[in-house]
Structure 1
Amino acid sequence: MNFSQLIKSIYLSKNFFLGIGILIFVFVLGSMIPFVLGMAYLLVSLFALIIVAELYQLYRMKKGLEAKRDAPSRLSNGDNNQIYISLRNHYPFDCNYELIDELPEQFQSRDISFFGSIGSDTEKTIQYSIRPVDRGEYYFGKVNVYVSTFTHMLLRRYQFGSGNLAKVYPSIIQVKKFAFTAISDHLQDVGIKKIRKIGHNYEFDQIREFVEGDDVRSINWTATARSTQLMVNQYQDEKSQDVYTIINKGRVMQMPFNGLTLLDYAINSSLVMLNTAYTKDDHPGLITFNKQVETMIPASKKKTQITTILETLYNQETDFSEADYIKLTYWIRRKIKRRALVFLYTNFEGVVSLKREIEHLKTIAQYQRLIIIIFKNVEIDEMVGKESHNLESIYTKTIATKFQAEKHLIIKELHRHGIDSILTSPEDLTVNSINKYLEIKKRGLL
């Protein structure tokens, strides 16, 4: 390390300036009281000795401390992503540190700092979480560590790493969470309701021992006669149905909620839904549309299907225009050749806006099993739930009640035309969507 680098890496702490202040005070006092002046010179010598000793301690080793950031190359949009920073102290003494991590500019935050101490020749891990709300590329800066000895007079700055790239994808964390529970058939444990099976219109899976709670109609009497205990037939859901999610990227999907737009919630939910369908041996497919159909991934069971869908959803943007349902209807009629289960993520703020598109939706529902997912306005629901204490709050609550009732009228209008729908808050979107998928799959209502 040359002299200029050494100077740039030295920082003066509050204790240093406190010591300087004490020395100035003692010298001023010494100008009035002669015997105090000798004490002042002694303190200056002691202060200089401490500074030299601390410089020697901090710079006796070229790399007295090491730090390394461990951040995923893929971050999950809308979720808390864990970041780990490992510290290693090579000094022969315990030291104090202040760690400042330079976050990507999208977070607009400079307050990620940690204080503590670390023993000699030991390692320590610091953990924190970040929650991105925009898809795209995120660049981390440097990890800055300021080290000091027990006197806290001087700080030596270490800098590690620079320009680490992490891409923010649709909710990968939710995908992993629901994928694991789907494989183990425990989706109800994370809020997915258990659907009672009706009849046995499913594929035969295996014969197993009877356990309490099994349907007695499933008893295999032939196998029971050959065994010493009751045996039952186990069935599994019908396989190989096409499942599409269609995402409206128009301006109605740009409403924000908890940092994310409705479009981002729809993208996250769509990825989880399609991955669940893939796990359940169905064929997932994707369509996004705005003024025209911009993306279509045909339903398929190939191994790279979910990766293709993930990379496609990562790049979805909008130009805030009005969605064209005429072109969507034409595209579905021309491209989807066999009956499929279709989840349409969209939003209607009023019955009038729905009626403009109802004929197109009816056409889609005539050939496909259509489920329309509409978002609640959570802030309006909260207004309706509040007590009114003055004329202004009564007026606000009345208007909010009108908007809330309008959403329920939209659902009734869809049902009147034989179109199934889900009215959900953004935060419950994924669970409610998968509930509906499982219900349709269990009951064989395609």
Structure 2
Amino acid sequence: MILPARRSFQLVGANAAVALLASLFPDLIGLWYVTVGVSLLLAFADMLLVATEPAPRAERFVPHSLPLGVKRTVRLRLHNDGKRLLSVQVFDHFPQQLSVSGFPLRLGLEAGKFAEPLYEVTATERGRLHFPCVQVRVLSPWQLWLHDLKLPVASETRVYPNFAAVAQYALMATDHHLSHIGILKKRRRGEGQDFHQLREYRAGDSLRQIDWKATARMHKPISREYQDERDQEIVFLLDCGHRMMAKDDALSHFDHTLNAMLLLTYVALRQGDAVGMGSFGGANRWLPAHKGQHNVQHMLNALYDLQPTPQAPDYAQAATELLVRQKKRALVILLTNLRDEDLDDLLPALHLLRKRHLVLLASMREQAIDQALEEPVDNLEDALHKAAVQHYLGTREATLERIRAVGIRCLDVPPPELSVNLINHYLDIKRSGVL
């Protein structure tokens, strides 16, 4: 498609000015005819030149996968196979699930060479994304026209939960580094763990840790060192129901949950455990528990396009299906957004799971509730609002206490704090030996 450029409108304006003069001074009508004729010839010749010259070629280099909410760079490559310097405007047709700024890009393409403009994208939704084409507008030699071209450059990428956090924590090989993000390593009491190695006695070791035979042989105190039990299984039971659509910030509660699952998966696999997951509430998937760091990628592929649905969760059905699929005793982490009206459906399901598995209920509390409690009270309406929030929190805590009373571990935290709290609870369970 050929579109008029700014200089075309300037040329039309100049012809209009000559026409106005000719209307005032009839002797200039001949000049106006000549001006119009020359302008039309120039416009036609310029249009012909830009329409017949070789169109630029385009390539796109997009990362194979993108983490949700993290900036990444996309690179374009534009080739000029013509014989003149091209002035072009570039617009990439990116998916609507990406946040992009800075378009259109303007650049010059030298004859026989290429340029590589860059732009940044931020994924706002998970799933499989398609880039259909690159649109360029080439300015004609005399800058009267723009040749609008859509170059078919198809690309595809996947948006995963925020695995950038896992890549960052993978570098944290020591307990000191992990403590910086709030993950605590506590001294283990007792010896109910797997034997790891012998080492020299250290201050604080219990007498039961001393290996007397090795001590006699080495002529110095030698202690046994234990490690947390391995070969255990952790299964996430993920609620995909309507309440997980709630948002407190840029991410939904569901996306915060996926990020926490991913990070705990990485930690548990490093501990030598197997990790699996099942989802319910309109999006039913099952990934059996497996060991090995490669399982992080399996988890990513199982979760990246999973979305919450408008359906209500059926806890009883989810528990029944999990018992059928998961025969070995495991730590079952139920991730949901709890309400007091869910208790009648939730408690029987938790009782059913507890017969075979150790259950941890992780519920997310809206940040707006905590923020409302911090607001000052200036009038009666503010007081009523704060009282309503306090009543809601009291009801919620009473619901959690009823669940704890039957022996179910509970976690109720704002979404941004879910990752660290889950990992700390998991490590506490490992050290206690209750699994």
**TM bucket by the smaller chain?**
0.7 to 0.9
Partners of 2:28 and 2:195 lie apart in 1 by 98
Q: Do the aligned partners of residues 156 and 241 (structure 1) sit closer, same or farther apart at CA in structure 2, a change above 3 Å counting?
A: same
Partners of 1:27 and 1:184 lie apart in 2 by 82
- Asked if the contact 1:97/1:146 (under 8 Å) is kept, the reply is yes
Matched, 1:97 2:88: yes
Matched, 1:20 2:9: no
- Asked if the contact 2:67/2:160 (under 8 Å) is kept, the reply is yes
Which of 236, 240, 264 is matched with 2:231 structurally? 240
Match of 2:314 in 1: 324
- Asked if the contact 1:187/1:193 (under 8 Å) is kept, the reply is no
Partners of 1:74 and 1:96 lie apart in 2 by 32
Q: What per-residue deviation string (whole Å, max 9, x for no partner) do you get for residues 375-398 of structure 1?
A: 111233333333344544443333
Matched, 1:357 2:346: yes
Moved more, 114-123 or 340-349: 114-123
Partners of 1:404 and 1:316 lie apart in 2 by 30
Match of 1:426 in 2: 415
Match of 1:344 in 2: 334
- SS of 1:196's partner is coil
Which of 370, 377, 383 is matched with 1:381 structurally? 370
Partners of 2:133 and 2:19 lie apart in 1 by 42
Q: 2:330 is aligned with what amino acid? A: A
- SS of 1:103's partner is coil
Partners of 1:190 and 1:122 lie apart in 2 by 46
Q: Do the aligned partners of residues 138 and 122 (structure 1) sit closer, same or farther apart at CA in structure 2, a change above 3 Å counting?
A: closer
Which of 257, 272, 282 is matched with 1:266 structurally? 257
Partners of 1:67 and 1:114 lie apart in 2 by 15
Question: Once the two structures are aligned, what percentage of the paired residues are identical?
Answer: 21
Displacement of 1:322 in angstroms is: 3.9
1:253-292 to 2 correspondences below 5 Å? 253-258=244-249, 261-290=252-281
Q: Do the aligned partners of residues 282 and 26 (structure 1) sit closer, same or farther apart at CA in structure 2, a change above 3 Å counting?
A: same
Partners of 1:389 and 1:50 lie apart in 2 by 73
- SS of 1:238's partner is coil
Match of 1:3 in 2: none
- Asked if the contact 1:89/1:118 (under 8 Å) is kept, the reply is no
Q: 1:116 is aligned with what amino acid? A: R
Moved more, 310-319 or 425-434: 310-319
Partners of 2:339 and 2:326 lie apart in 1 by 29
Partners of 2:252 and 2:131 lie apart in 1 by 24
Q: Do the aligned partners of residues 438 and 390 (structure 1) sit closer, same or farther apart at CA in structure 2, a change above 3 Å counting?
A: same
Structure 2 segments unaligned to the other structure (5+ residues):
none
Q: 2:291 is aligned with what amino acid? A: K
- SS of 2:289's partner is coil
- What is the root-mean-square deviation of aligned Cα atoms in Å? 4.4
Partners of 2:106 and 2:390 lie apart in 1 by 52
Which of 263, 273, 297 is matched with 2:287 structurally? 297
Partners of 1:119 and 1:366 lie apart in 2 by 70
- Asked if the contact 1:83/1:129 (under 8 Å) is kept, the reply is yes
Matched, 1:11 2:3: yes
Displacement of 1:372 in angstroms is: 1.0
Match of 1:5 in 2: none
Partners of 1:424 and 1:18 lie apart in 2 by 63
- Asked if the contact 1:74/1:169 (under 8 Å) is kept, the reply is yes
Match of 1:398 in 2: 387
Q: If the length of structure 2 is used for normalisation, what is the TM-score? A: 0.77
Displacement of 1:197 in angstroms is: 2.9
Match of 1:68 in 2: 59
1:119-130 to 2 correspondences below 5 Å? 120=110, 121-130=113-122
Q: Do the aligned partners of residues 151 and 410 (structure 1) sit closer, same or farther apart at CA in structure 2, a change above 3 Å counting?
A: farther
Q: Do the aligned partners of residues 192 and 119 (structure 1) sit closer, same or farther apart at CA in structure 2, a change above 3 Å counting?
A: farther
Q: What per-residue deviation string (whole Å, max 9, x for no partner) do you get for residues 334-388 of structure 1?
A: 55444322211012222x5335533542453464332211111123333333334
Partners of 2:42 and 2:259 lie apart in 1 by 57
Partners of 2:390 and 2:211 lie apart in 1 by 55
Q: What per-residue deviation string (whole Å, max 9, x for no partner) do you get for residues 249-289 of structure 1?
A: 33333434446543444344324432432233211121223
Displacement of 1:129 in angstroms is: 0.7
- Asked if the contact 2:270/2:293 (under 8 Å) is kept, the reply is no
Which of 123, 131, 137 is matched with 1:131 structurally? 123
Q: What per-residue deviation string (whole Å, max 9, x for no partner) do you get for residues 78-136 of structure 1?
A: 554543323345566654332222233556x998722322352352231221323253x
- SS of 1:339's partner is coil
Match of 1:4 in 2: none
Displacement of 1:195 in angstroms is: 1.9
Q: Do the aligned partners of residues 430 and 94 (structure 1) sit closer, same or farther apart at CA in structure 2, a change above 3 Å counting?
A: farther
Partners of 2:27 and 2:210 lie apart in 1 by 105
- Asked if the contact 2:54/2:82 (under 8 Å) is kept, the reply is no
Partners of 1:203 and 1:181 lie apart in 2 by 27
Q: Do the aligned partners of residues 388 and 152 (structure 1) sit closer, same or farther apart at CA in structure 2, a change above 3 Å counting?
A: farther
Displacement of 1:247 in angstroms is: 1.1
